[in-house]
Amino acid sequence: MYQYTSATDGIELASSSSKQTLLQVLQEARERIQVNDDELDEARRRRDLLAGTLKAEFGADSRTYVNGSIAHGDALTPLTDIDLGIVIPNPDGVYGPLGKGPAELQNRAAAAIRAAHKSEFPNLRVYVNGRKRSVYVSFGDPVDPDVTDFSADVIVALDDGTGAGLWIPHYDTWDRSAPETHTTLVRAAAKSSGYNYSRTVRLLKHWSRRHSKPLCSWNVKALGLDSLADSMNQLEGMLAWFDHAIDDLTWRDTPDPANVAGAIGVPGDRSELVDKLRKAQDKLVEAITHEKDGYNVLAVEALSSFFNDKDMLPPPEAKEVTAQQLKRTADMRAARPSRLSVGDRPQTRSRTPTRSWAP
C-alpha cells in the first residue's frame, strides 16, 4: 500500500507564478467537474415536481425517496438525470413477488407524469415498455446547455413486509433492494468524513467516466464506504480506494452495503478490470512520487494523464515536461555511484605492459 505524503514546500506549476501542491491542483480540477448551483436547483425543482405528482396519484400513505448522485452529494457536471422513487401502499399484497407485477403501477405513474407536466415540457416523453426497473422520463429540455436532454428514472416500489428494504421492479417481476438505506449510508459517510467521501467519490466517478466506465457509480460508492476514512484527503482517499477495490474485486463482486440486494456485478472480464485499476493506481502513485521528489511539472503531467481530461486538469506544456524529464535523468545519473569506485577511493587495476606487435 502506497502512503501519500505531501511535499513540504509544494510544487510550482508550469505556466503559474504561484506554488501549489498536488492537493491544490486536485481541488481546482474537482471544482471544474462538480455540478453548479443553477443545474442543481433546476434538477431538484423537476424532481420535486415529479414527487408531488406521484404522491397525488398514489395517495397520502405513499412516500417518495431520493437516490443517486444529487441525493448522495456527488453529482458531476453536466448534470443529465435524477433518481426518484415512490413507495406505494400494498396492504392486501395485491402486488409483489406473490401478486401482480409492476407494470400496472408503472403505467399509472407514467400517465400521471404525462398529464401533469406535458404543458411545461412540450417535448416530454415517458417510457415503460422494455425498461428493466424504472419509468424513464425524458424532459426534452436540458438543465445544462452542453447536453441535449435531461431525464429522470422513477422507481415504483413496495415495502417488503418480510424484512428490510423494498421490492423494486425487475422487468415483469420484483427484486429486493434498499435504496433508502443506501442513501442513508452514503450521507452518513459524507458527514463523518467531513465530505471527503463525497469529494473523493466525485473524482473517482470522473476517472471512471473518462475510462469507459469500468465500474458503475454505485459500485464506486459502495467500495468507498469500506475504504474512505474521515482523516483522508482526496489523494489519500483515491489511493486507499484503489487498494481496496483491487483487493476486493480480484476475487468477488461488491456486496450490497445494506445486505439486502445481491452483489454488484462488474461489466466485462474481471481480470481486465483489475488490470485497469492497477494501471490507474500506478499512474496516481507516479504523480505523487514526482511531487515528493521535487519534479513539479512531471507530477502535474502524470495527474493529468490519470484523469485523461484536459478540460478538467490541463497538462503542462510539452517543452516544460521535456525539460524536467531531462533534469530528472541528469539528477539520476549524478546520484548513481561510479562502477569503478570502492568506498571513497577509485578502483585501479594492475595491467601487464603489452606491445601492439609481435616479434
Please say if the pLDDT value at position 345 is more than 60: no
Assess whether pLDDT exceeds 60 at residue 263.
yes
pLDDT of residue 201: 97
What average pLDDT does this structure show over 44-63?
98
Q: What is the pLDDT of residues 279-323, one digit of tens each?
A: 999 999 999 999 999 999 999 999 999 999 999 999 999 999 999
Q: How confident is the model at residue 161 (pLDDT cuts 50, 70, 90)?
A: confident
pLDDT at 274 > cutoff 90: yes
For residue 334, give every residue at least 6 positions away whose Cβ sits within 8 Å of its Cβ, in sequence order, or none: none
Please state at what angle helix 234-249 crosses helix 196-209, rounded to 10 degrees.
60
In a 3-state reduction of DSSP, which class is residue 191? helix
What is the tens place of the pLDDT at every residue in 2-18?
Answer: 444 444 333 344 444 23
The confidence score (pLDDT) of residue 230 equals 79
Report the SS3 class of residue 11: strand
Strand partners, 67: 83
Q: Which of 49, 55, 213 is nearest to 124 (CA)?
A: 49
